[in-house]
Every structure is written in C-alpha cells, then in structure tokens.
Amino acid sequence: MKILKNSLLLLSVAVLSSCNVQKEKEAVSLKDSYKNDFYIGTALSADQIEEKNAKEDSLIVKQFNAITAENIMKSMYVHPEKDKYDFALTDKFIAYGKKNKMFIHGHTLIWHSQLAPWMQKIKDSTEMKAFMKEHITTIVSKYKGQVDSWDVVNEALNEDGTLRKSIFLDKLGEKYLVDAFKLAAAADPKVDLYYNDYNNEEPAKRAGNIALIKKIKAGGGKIDGVGIQAHWKLAYPSLEEIEKSILEYSALGIKVAFTELDISVLPNPKDFSGADVNQKFEGDPKMNPYPEKLPDSVQLKLAERYASIFKLFLKHKDKISRVTFWGVHDGQSWLNDWPIKGRTNYPLLFDKNLQPKKAYNSVIQLKETKQ
C-alpha cells in the first residue's frame, strides 16, 4: 500500500513538473527574454494595426514590446495633399502601442521615397523649407509625448558615403539635414531623434554616416541615435563590421538601434554577373529555390546566423536601445517581392503560419544558456 502511495506521489510530481516545464515554454517570449537588454520590436502592417487577425495579434502582443509602422506613417499616406493630413491609421497605431504598453517608434519624417505626388513637384528652396517646417512640426507636435523616438531623416546617404541627390538636397543643400533635426527637437524636445539608413554598417557608408552625425551635432541639431536597418543576408555583412559599427557610432555619444532586421536566404540578382535587377529574373526557378518549404539545412544556417548576431548584440547591450524585426512573420515580408517579385523568402523568426522557427529558438536559447 505504502509503495503504491509513494509511486502515485512520484507520478503526480512528475506530471506537475512536466506541466510546469510546458507552461514555462509557452510563457517564454522574445520581449521577456530580452527585457533587461533592449527593446524587441516589430514592424506592423495596416491590417495588424487594425487587429484584423486575432492570432497574429496575440503573437505580436506576446512577443514584442516595441512597434514601428511599416508604411502608414510615410509622407504619401499621412500627408497626401498640401493642406490635408490623414491621421486615421497613425492614431490607431499610437493607440495600439499605448494599449499594449509598447515603445512607439515613428517612421519616418524626411525620406526621398514614398513622397506624396504634390511633394515631388516642390520647385524651389522657399517652398521646400516651408514644407519641411510644416510637415515635421505638425506630425511631431501631434504625437508629442506619445511617440518615443523618430526617424527624422531616412536614407540620405549613397553607398560611398556621399549625400544622396534627393529632392531635399537639390532644393536646400546639405543644411536640410541639421534643419530637420532642429525642427523635430523644437516640436518635441524630449523625444529621441534618429538618423536611419541601410548598409551603414559597411565601411564607406559608415564613415559618411559618422561624418553626417558629427555635422548635425556641430550645426546645433539634437541627434540621439543611429538606426542601422539591418536588411542582411546569411553571409553578409560580417560580424566584424557590425561590431565596428556599434563601437564607432556609440563612441559619438549616441544610441545604436537595429531598426529593420531581416535576413534573406534567397539568391541575389547581383550575385549573377552583369545582371540587371528585376523582370529578367521573375519566374526563374533558380532565383526562387524554396517555393514550398525551407530545407532543414538552410533553416539551421538561418538559426546560426541569428544566434551569432544576437550574441553580438548582447555583448554590446549597453550601447543598443532596440532591435526591431521588419515584419512579424515570413508571409508578410517585403522580401517576398524585392528585388524580384513573387518569391518565397524566410527572413524572420516566425513562419507564415505564425509558428516559431529554429531561428526563434536559437535567439531564445541564447538567453537561457546565459542566465
């Protein structure tokens, strides 16, 4: 009888503890695992902001504590006509972030791309100056104290580190950069202000970016951080260049954020010599090798790549404010349609069915083994 009682006891202890392990597993999330390190963010589509899919919504709320709007805050949507702003979706975005106690990042104020057609017709410096002042002041003031950080200027640099010949540079000269930061700071003195770009971990562009940040500071602009977009590949950029970037940017006394992280696993047209991007490759099976499923071997490579990147981020967590993924799950990624339309890419931590991938486990495990 006693033996039976003891074995029953042992059995129930075992069942209970395996339930606990299961519960713990379910409770684990990116945002909780990294809560003492940096924010873990995601970019939201319009549908996600409107909570159209309950499953996606619970995944977002469970895993992430920072949000960026993937598109709806860009000029063409928010300021479609000279005298008309459309804040319907941006208001919802802010409300969503507040409701879920998330860090809210504003993307983006001054960007040459996704401009409204009327903006592209701005003809001289007077008009451009007036536009910048009105646009930045209106948007930043409206969300003063609600948006936590802004991308004030996005993608102003060429790959060689020189200034991109954008409509802003064309009409105003390089002073537009410091002016943009001054205008944003005047509208909300407490919000964090960022310069955001891609490939700015590469040496030449990084040097240009550092010079730019110094100029903004020297000109009296307030700049609090640099956004490294981090649209990366399995093999590029090297961890060395990423680490150098973290160190060199933070030596300027600013925060470093990784703002649009994703890792493409597909071949790049540029890998094929003499290749023109686009059309030519559409529908070419060689360029879309995994239309149904990512092979385990590549899944593993992606997991290893993510683990090594997050290991580096953790090493420098005192310098990193936020790591944001460019999308919630693979199904919504812009990389399914760029640089070639209609491919199936696998760049994020959750698959198109919202299931965590090996890469998710590797990022979580890094914290479990560390603590």
Residues of the shown chain interacting with ligand 9MR in the complex, contacts defined by CB under 6 A: 70-71, 113-114, 198, 229, 260, 334
Contact between residue 83 and residue 47 where contact means Cβ atoms under 8 Å apart: no
Distances (CA, A) of 274 to 152, 211, 270, 277, 279: 36, 33, 8, 10, 14
Query: 77 vs 364, which CB is nearer to ligand 9MR?
Result: 77
Pick the closer one to ligand 9MR by CB: 194 or 362.
Answer: 194
Residue 168 or 198 having the CB closest to ligand 9MR: 198
Helix (H, G, I), strand (E, B) or coil at 231: strand
Nearer to ligand 9MR, 76 or 211 (CB): 76
CA distance 287 to 307: 26
Specify the residue, 219 or 237, whose C-beta has the smaller distance to ligand 9MR: 237
Cβ proximity to ligand 9MR, 321 vs 332, nearer residue: 332
Three-class SS of residue 58? helix
**Residue type (1 letter), 160:** D
SS percent in the chain: helix, strand, coil, step 5: 50, 15, 35
* Element containing residue 232 per DSSP (H, E): strand 231-233
Q: What is the DSSP string of 299-327?
A: HHHHHHHHHHHHHHHHHTTTTEEEEEESS
Residue 105 Cβ vs ligand 9MR, minimum distance, rounded to whole Å: 12
Least distance to ligand 9MR, CB of residue 15, Å = 46
Give the integer Cα–Cα distance in Å for 322 and 331: 23
Shortest approach of ligand 9MR to residue 68 CB, angstroms? Answer: 9
With a CB cutoff of 8 Å and minimum separation 6, the contacts of 209 are: 157, 161, 195, 197, 200, 226, 249
**What's the Rg (C-alpha) of the chain?**
23
Phi, psi (5° rounding) for residue 146? -115, -40
| Shortest distance (Å) from residue 12 CB to ligand 9MR | 51
Min CB(55)–ligand 9MR separation in Å? 21
Closest contact distance (angstroms) between CB of 97 and ligand 9MR is 18
Q: Taking CB positions, which residue lies at the least distance from ligand 9MR? A: 334
Bridge partner residues of 194 (DSSP): 151, 225
Q: Which residues are catalytic?
A: 155, 260
Nearer to ligand 9MR, 71 or 365 (CB): 71
How far is it, in rounded angstroms, from Cα 165 to Cα 157?
9
The distance of closest approach from Cβ of residue 147 to ligand 9MR in the complex, given in angstroms and rounded to an integer, is 16
Distance between CA atoms of residues 167 and 153, nearest Å: 13
Strands 110-111, 149-154: pairing is parallel
Nearer to ligand 9MR, 53 or 71 (CB): 71
Give the phi and the psi of residue 195 in degrees, each rounded to 5: -100, 130
Block residue for tokens 């695992």: 33
Closest CB 158 distance from ligand 9MR, rounded Å: 15
User: Is the preceding peptide bond at 267 cis, omega within 30 degrees of 0?
Assistant: no
CB-based contact 184:136 (threshold 8 Å): yes
